Structure 1
């Protein structure tokens, strides 16, 4: 079994007043692009972590087969959302694919490459910078949940992850309205 974990619970303070995850990109909310990729990959379970107040997004993700987990304290940061999501991954899952809702250009091929490194953890790299999406095998999930005082990035680094080269567009994340404009301008890509 493999789980897909989509994190959409950030406060998006750099984006402005609009809910970034619901910002329009090519006729649909931003977060639904990454969700659609996870829906296209053969997974046994799909989990989306949201913050309170994202009812419309929750309904849309539920219709794509996602189970919703709520981070009641999104100000605690991304690590808190990832840990909430990982606690809901089935004990039978051999691992979880971590994706962020503000990365609309990830591809099924990229996710497949990450899982292909199991039982080793894997993450994407562009120009020497590591980022999600990432593959967390069961033993890494346990280490992340046991090491709540450590940043997840440090736990993953200690595990010696495989580093999967990916292009800048595939790893583009949307933090500001200008980032969204850049993603709109450059269309789709892959790894």
Structure 2
């Protein structure tokens, strides 16, 4: 039947965040754990396999933050060319048996294994396999997204700081929208203010970020 993989895009410079000595926001802690590790553990809690993490800027620090996890690191030597280069590197590293891949952004720490599985289940339950599955909440699409094998080749034609969203928009009738009631699809950590808001919410809730 073929597996559905997960690709975590973790190669960017995070210039808007100004990570200081951390060098990249992806290793800045949230609830005592690096941002990127939250995302990786969510992927590992899902059915997606294999888990690939595309690295570039601050690759050694990303690798250290993910130490001990059952995943594979994929280096993107062209990461400065933008998000599309990381997506290309991730797709190129997939096994031939992969029918699709969930594309995860490494700065979205509230995405859960259950949410990833929801996208996989929607993909597998469709009578005609969709080209892509996108989560939708209150009429708005978010991340992560699942792209099927028919979109793997078009990835090679992407340029600059454009990722799977452009492919999804081009999927037309091949796009399956998956309704979810989870604001995690909208929450990323682009700035320090965004991180502080998440920290405050977690402190008020008295719990760590959950991936179950």
- Both proteins in one fold, TM over 0.5: yes
Residue aligning to 1:15: 17
Look up the SS of the partner of 2:142 in the other structure: strand
Q: Which deviates more from structure 2 when the two are superposed, residues 110-119 or residues 18-27?
A: 110-119
What is the Cα deviation at residue 127 of structure 1?
A: 4.8
Instruction: Choose 1 or 2 for highest CA Rg.
Output: 2
Write out per-residue CA displacement over residues 48-101 of structure 1, whole angstroms, 9 at most, x where no aligned residue: 001143213214435211111112232211111111111101111111111111
Q: Which deviates more from structure 2 when the two are superposed, residues 47-56 or residues 127-136?
A: 127-136
CA gap 1:149/1:32 in 2 versus in 1, 3 angstroms:
closer
Provide structure 2 residue ranges, at least 5 long, that are not aligned to the other structure. 124-128, 203-208
TM-align CA RMSD: 2.2
Residue aligning to 1:148: 158
Provide structure 1 residue ranges, at least 5 long, that are not aligned to the other structure. none
Residue from 179, 184, 193 that aligns with 1:178: 193
What is the Cα deviation at residue 128 of structure 1?
A: 4.3
**How many residues are matched?**
189
Do the aligned partners of 2:101 and 2:146 also contact (CA within 8 Å) in 1?
yes
1:34 aligns with 2:75: no
1:130 aligns with 2:132: no
Please report the TM-score for the alignment, with normalisation by the length of structure 2: 0.80
